[in-house]
Structure 1
Amino acid sequence: MRDWVLSTPSRTAPIPNPQSPIAPEDRAQLTFERLFGPEFGHGKTFDLPRLKAALHALGAPQLRLPPVIHIAGTNGKGSTIAFMRAIAEAAGLRVHAFTKPHLFALRERFLVAGDVASDDALIGAAERVASVSTELTQFDAQAAAALLLFSEAPAGVVLLETGMGGRDDSTNVIENAALTVITPIALDHQVELGPRLADIAAHKAGILKPAAPALVARQQDAAREIIEARAEAIGAPLLRQGVEWDAYAHAGRLVVQTETRVLDLPPPTLAGAHQIDNAGLACAAMLAWRDLPDEAFADGVAGARLQARLQPLTRGPLSAPIRATGGEVWVDGAHNAHGAQALARALHAMQRRRPAPTIAVVGMRARKDADSFIGAIAGAVNHVIGVPLSEAHVAPVMMTAICDLFGIESSAAPSFEAAMQNAAQFPAPRVLICGSFLLAAEALRVESG
């Protein structure tokens, strides 16, 4: 890549660090933490029988749901669900969805008949769950609360995203899914799921159900073989990208082709070539589930929205100084090597359209693999600025040390604001804020004023 030089500030980015504003109180999150403890680092065992017993005491809401589409995978789950939701709603269906993570408030994870659940509704559901068991993990309790809310409101479909893995995940209390979907599998959460891709794939494949079609994105061989073996063992029909269906860009449009139908659709609204695969997977899944009209797929693909997925910042105060120089700002929640690879491909494509110094502002949680993330994005950026997060994180100076190993110019900033001031000193830069949904949320909050 062309070398772009930043003369100041220095590598240590000595810029003042004003105190960031405190986010509004999240009443639902505080309630779940009070009743069940923290979502992470809780010390409780993962115990599906315990969750099933609690659900039985609540009247077995998991058995009183609209058709369930269960989604697992490492990356692309949120985008795929966003496309599926938009397609279903374009077809006139009401949608329940349980997803993670949230950006600003816990209630974002709970979509009930097309509307984000209120704090009051979530708090009420949490208290009902706590009345039968406070020994559940917080995510167990979230899943139970979602199932309660979904069982009590009419809808046409439930889109249910795993929290981590699949086989032992809290959402895997669903016994009769209409469909399962597996997005691309890559290395992440190795401490919990195992060190090898095959170990992780075995967890993800645990959501497959006998006789329920399984829509599978294109996979690395080690993951694909595990999924195929599990499907054969339990009798789950497989619909694999590149075999029984495919999706690709052609003449500026998205083409989705199955063995019985071809869709010629507008390009996805979400940016990046990887969204062709995510939108294609969503379309293939909905085709496998129901005979929906072509217009629903076209409107859904063109109308899906999801924050912090290669999202351009175009109107607010955060991006204004950089836009004033002719630059651009993007934000993405990618936090593992596979996600970083997708970002690198997108950045290369942007560079072909407009050559510019590419600056990655990166903040990562302590439990994430910063080495592999930075290594995956290294060839697509000119400079990395490491920033701290409000929770346990990889120290910015550690990021600069990692960048040194990959031969990337870098600096450590004492705050996100300082990092953006640093980035604005490049000529008409392309700035990508990434590494954590926590950092993405902070960027979107500042941009909104």
Structure 2
Amino acid sequence: MTVQGATPSDLMLARMMALHPKIIDLTLDRVWRLLAALDHPERALPPAIHLAGTNGKGSTLAFLRAGIEGAGQAAHAYTSPHLARFHERVRVAGELISEPALTAVLDECEAANGGAPITYFEITTCAALLAFSRTPADWTLLETGLGGRLDATNVLDAPALTIVTPVSMDHEQYLGDTLEKIAFEKAGILKRGVPCVVGPQDDAALEVIEAQAARLGAPLLVHGQHWHVREERGRMVFEDEAGLLDLPLPVLPGAHQIANAGAALAALRHLGFGEAACEAAVTCAEWPARMQRLRRGPLAEAAPEVELWLDGGHNPAAGAALAAHLARLPERPTHLICGMLSTKDATGFLAPLAGAADSLTAVPIPGEAAALDPDTLAEVAARAGHAARTAESPAAALAAITDEDATARVLICGSLYLAGQVLRENG
């Protein structure tokens, strides 16, 4: 059956979903098999920076890309998940992959795979690496999808640098039920002799990362030891062994972005980039659905006086970061519109936000089988301390909020899938 409006790549991606193994098992065997059939595109990439972590890896990659491009160089970038279109995941030499180029590499990967079981993420990662291998660039930026040790991106023998952003509890069903187990999986991207920039970590996670680094002889550049970053008088101050940088605050809002920008600066400085690249990193980065202000589209037009925000964070650390950011904003009645997946720790995400919001409206996430139904999410929110209710959509929730206060602050949050839906309709 042909879906009206679907592109050739949409149809190919739908076919690839059908190849998914019946049991999800984290392994690199399927990836190695397909990469071999493609004549190993991972061996033909520009120098790579590989990022893992629970929170902040996408933002850190965005800061890195902005810094590299600010220095006049080009970077391939692979991120996930996408928000509105799959093409967002694959930037070839700085540009979103074109529909013809994406269709070509997907077709080649599908043919080389020969119908064998493989996950959607694995086969599309191979397609991205194939696209990168065929276009010149100065750098390759790779964000892990899940974990690190057995993630489909973990196929480079010797990246130029690795980065581990803050590790916290998430994806416990795959990565383990303790912070130490999760940190072990994230630290699986470390390579023998390859330096690793380490963002702020709980002591338990840092001990695991340090043990893995010692085993591999991988030099560490650790936040709080080898580099420091802080906000001071409305500026961002970064310090490492090379000296001090006095920079504007990161363009991506939120106090947590200072640490993410700091990790990117530590990486750029280690790789020899100068002050111009560092300033571009913090002033030119773009990363949608991370405390993104929505100023256009039907939602914004329906409530022109509302201060409307969007964020895709969905785990306890993200909830705490959002609460901290909301506390720093000028005082204003604040309301949450929230949709979440049943696979996430809804209580852990919502509890820190209870003191930062006047109400929470639970909404569905259409098309997502794992989405919590609004009634269930509202019950969880109420137990976490929220004045909770439900609505059939973000638009309906916003209308109810504005009926009570047309000048409120509204944050749509809880899921990247919900954020993607909102951006598709209001991008």
Mapped to 1, the partners of 2:177 and 2:11 lie a distance apart of 33
Match for 1:410: what amino acid? A
Are the structure 2 counterparts of residues 26 and 99 from structure 1 closer, same or farther at C-alpha, using a change threshold of 3 Å?
farther
Equivalent position to 2:106, from 108, 119, 126: 126
Question: What SS does the aligned partner of 1:74 have?
Answer: coil
- Cα displacement (A) at 1:231: 0.5
Mapped to 1, the partners of 2:308 and 2:262 lie a distance apart of 27
The equivalences for 1:334-345 within 5 A come to 334-345=313-324
Matched, 1:108 2:84: no
Question: What SS does the aligned partner of 1:319 have?
Answer: helix
Mapped to 1, the partners of 2:423 and 2:104 lie a distance apart of 29
Mapped to 2, the partners of 1:33 and 1:156 lie a distance apart of 32
Question: What SS does the aligned partner of 2:77 have?
Answer: strand
Equivalent position to 1:56, from 22, 28, 36: 36
- Cα displacement (A) at 1:32: 2.5
Are the structure 2 counterparts of residues 37 and 217 from structure 1 closer, same or farther at C-alpha, using a change threshold of 3 Å?
same
Partner residue of 1:430? 409
Mapped to 2, the partners of 1:249 and 1:305 lie a distance apart of 20
Partner residue of 2:390? 412
Q: Structure 1: which 5+ runs fail to align?
A: 1-21
Partner residue of 1:366? 342
Q: TM-score, normalised by structure 1?
A: 0.90
Mapped to 1, the partners of 2:425 and 2:400 lie a distance apart of 16
Partner residue of 2:276? 295
- Cα displacement (A) at 1:42: 5.2
Partner residue of 1:383? 359
Question: What SS does the aligned partner of 1:124 have?
Answer: helix
Matched, 1:31 2:9: no
Matched, 1:154 2:136: yes
Partner residue of 1:234? 216
Mapped to 1, the partners of 2:5 and 2:220 lie a distance apart of 45
Equivalent position to 1:244, from 208, 218, 226: 226
The equivalences for 1:130-145 within 5 A come to 130-133=110-113, 134=115, 135-145=117-127
Mapped to 1, the partners of 2:5 and 2:354 lie a distance apart of 36
Q: Structure 2: which 5+ runs fail to align?
A: none
Partner residue of 1:261? 243
Equivalent position to 1:330, from 309, 317, 323: 309
- Cα displacement (A) at 1:384: 0.5
Matched, 1:97 2:77: yes
Partner residue of 1:10? none
- Cα displacement (A) at 1:321: 4.1
Question: What SS does the aligned partner of 1:385 have?
Answer: strand
Mapped to 1, the partners of 2:301 and 2:249 lie a distance apart of 28
- Cα displacement (A) at 1:262: 1.9
RMSD: 1.7
Tell me whether 400-409 or 44-53 shows the greater mean CA deviation. Answer: 44-53
Runs of 4+ in 1 over 4 A off after TM superposition: none
Question: What SS does the aligned partner of 2:191 have?
Answer: coil
- Cα displacement (A) at 1:304: 0.9
Matched, 1:74 2:54: yes
Does the CA-based 8 Å contact 2:359-2:386 persist in structure 1? yes
Question: What SS does the aligned partner of 2:153 have?
Answer: helix
Matched, 1:308 2:305: no
Partner residue of 1:400? 378
- Cα displacement (A) at 1:190: 0.5
- Cα displacement (A) at 1:26: 5.0
Partner residue of 2:420? 441
Cα deviations across residues 40-72 of structure 1 (Å, max 9, x unaligned)? x85353331331122122111111111000000
Partner residue of 1:272? 254
Are the structure 2 counterparts of residues 24 and 105 from structure 1 closer, same or farther at C-alpha, using a change threshold of 3 Å?
farther
Mapped to 1, the partners of 2:297 and 2:90 lie a distance apart of 28
Match for 1:318: what amino acid? L
Mapped to 2, the partners of 1:159 and 1:24 lie a distance apart of 31
Mapped to 1, the partners of 2:290 and 2:9 lie a distance apart of 25
> For this pair of structures, how many residues does the alignment match?
420
* Percent of pairs with identical residues: 42
Partner residue of 2:195? 213
Question: What SS does the aligned partner of 1:167 have?
Answer: coil
Q: TM-score, normalised by structure 2?
A: 0.94
Mapped to 2, the partners of 1:404 and 1:293 lie a distance apart of 50
- Cα displacement (A) at 1:317: 3.0
Are the structure 2 counterparts of residues 402 and 35 from structure 1 closer, same or farther at C-alpha, using a change threshold of 3 Å?
closer
Mapped to 2, the partners of 1:361 and 1:413 lie a distance apart of 9
Are the structure 2 counterparts of residues 47 and 408 from structure 1 closer, same or farther at C-alpha, using a change threshold of 3 Å?
closer
Cα deviations across residues 315-351 of structure 1 (Å, max 9, x unaligned)? 4331234333xx311100111111111000011111x
Mapped to 2, the partners of 1:425 and 1:27 lie a distance apart of 43
